[in-house]
Amino acid sequence: MKERLLTLTFVLLIALGCTLGSTTAENGAAEQSRDERSTAANASAENSTAEPEATPIPATKQTAANAVCPDPSKPCQHKEKRFDDWELSFKMPAKLPPNKTVKSAPFFAVILKTYPMGEDCDGGEFIEAAEADRKREQTNQLNRKVFASYECPNMGAVNYDFEGRWTKDGESLLLGNFIALYAGTTRAEGEDALKFLKNEYPQAQLKQMTAMYELIVQ
């Protein structure tokens, strides 16, 4: 009888020890899991409070105060000068000095076609045939202004100065009536445009120009 009681007690002790061991192991695993979750949460919190990486700011092209406006859909505007459709507009001072020439920044243009001096200004301030040519070419050039110069009676016209327009003594005008395409601010851009247009305009020529305007006050 005593031996059976001892055996039963021993069995109960073993069972109790297994139960306690299992519980301890489970508690340890749960504690480890909580520690891991806490560590992950802390790491997440640290990441969430870190400063975000700065978004790169795109580079912007600086333009001169007297730069031309070559986009035909976005011409420059000025309260003292209404640019005609055939003129290449450019930025000018808010207040224009009277009877003083205002010049644009230099740019390159491809002269597409010239018209004889003394051509009839049948459009009043322009030559109708030349203006028709200019408008037709403008439909092919959506991003670059096609402009013209007309030696017609127009006191408020934009003029263009470039090498070869006048004789060496500056007395006679050699190239008075022409249509031209804005070709950029560098010679490389101009040469690319010239190469592209040579097939259609074999007599095309590249010129570095300056646009000029004078507010005439009498």
Strands 146-149 and 101-103, sheet pairing: unpaired
What whole-number distance in Å separates Cα of residue 130 and Cα of residue 177?
8
Is residue 121 situated within a structural domain? Answer: yes
What whole-number distance in Å separates Cα of residue 182 and Cα of residue 189?
10
Claim to verify: residue 34 and residue 137 sit in the same structural domain: no
What whole-number distance in Å separates Cα of residue 3 and Cα of residue 18?
23
Claim to verify: residue 108 and residue 23 sit in the same structural domain: no
Is residue 205 situated within a structural domain? Answer: yes
- The domain in which residue 27 lies consists of 1-46
Q: Considering only CA atoms, which of 120, 64, 113, 121 is closest in space to residue 93? A: 64
Q: Which amino acid is at 14?
A: I
> Does residue 119 contact residue 177 with C-beta atoms inside 8 Å?
yes
Claim to verify: residue 22 and residue 110 sit in the same structural domain: no
Claim to verify: residue 41 and residue 131 sit in the same structural domain: no
Claim to verify: residue 14 and residue 106 sit in the same structural domain: no
Cα 207 to Cα 20, 76, 210: the distances in Å are 97, 22, 10
Q: Considering only CA atoms, which of 111, 64, 89, 103 is closest in space to residue 210? A: 103
Is residue 87 situated within a structural domain? Answer: no
Is residue 201 situated within a structural domain? Answer: yes
Per-residue pLDDT of the chain (218 residues; tens, 9 = 90+): 444 443 444 433 444 344 434 444 444 444 444 455 444 444 444 444 444 433 333 233 546 899 999 999 999 999 999 999 999 999 999 999 999 999 999 999 999 999 998 889 999 999 999 999 999 999 999 999 999 999 998 889 999 999 988 888 877 888 889 999 999 999 999 999 999 999 999 999 999 999 999 999 88
Is residue 93 situated within a structural domain? Answer: no
Claim to verify: residue 107 and residue 183 sit in the same structural domain: yes
DSSP-based three-state secondary structure for 214: strand
Is residue 129 situated within a structural domain? Answer: yes
> Does residue 147 contact residue 180 with C-beta atoms inside 8 Å?
yes
Claim to verify: residue 19 and residue 117 sit in the same structural domain: no
Claim to verify: residue 41 and residue 129 sit in the same structural domain: no
Is residue 68 situated within a structural domain? Answer: no
Is residue 54 situated within a structural domain? Answer: no
Domain count, the chain: 2
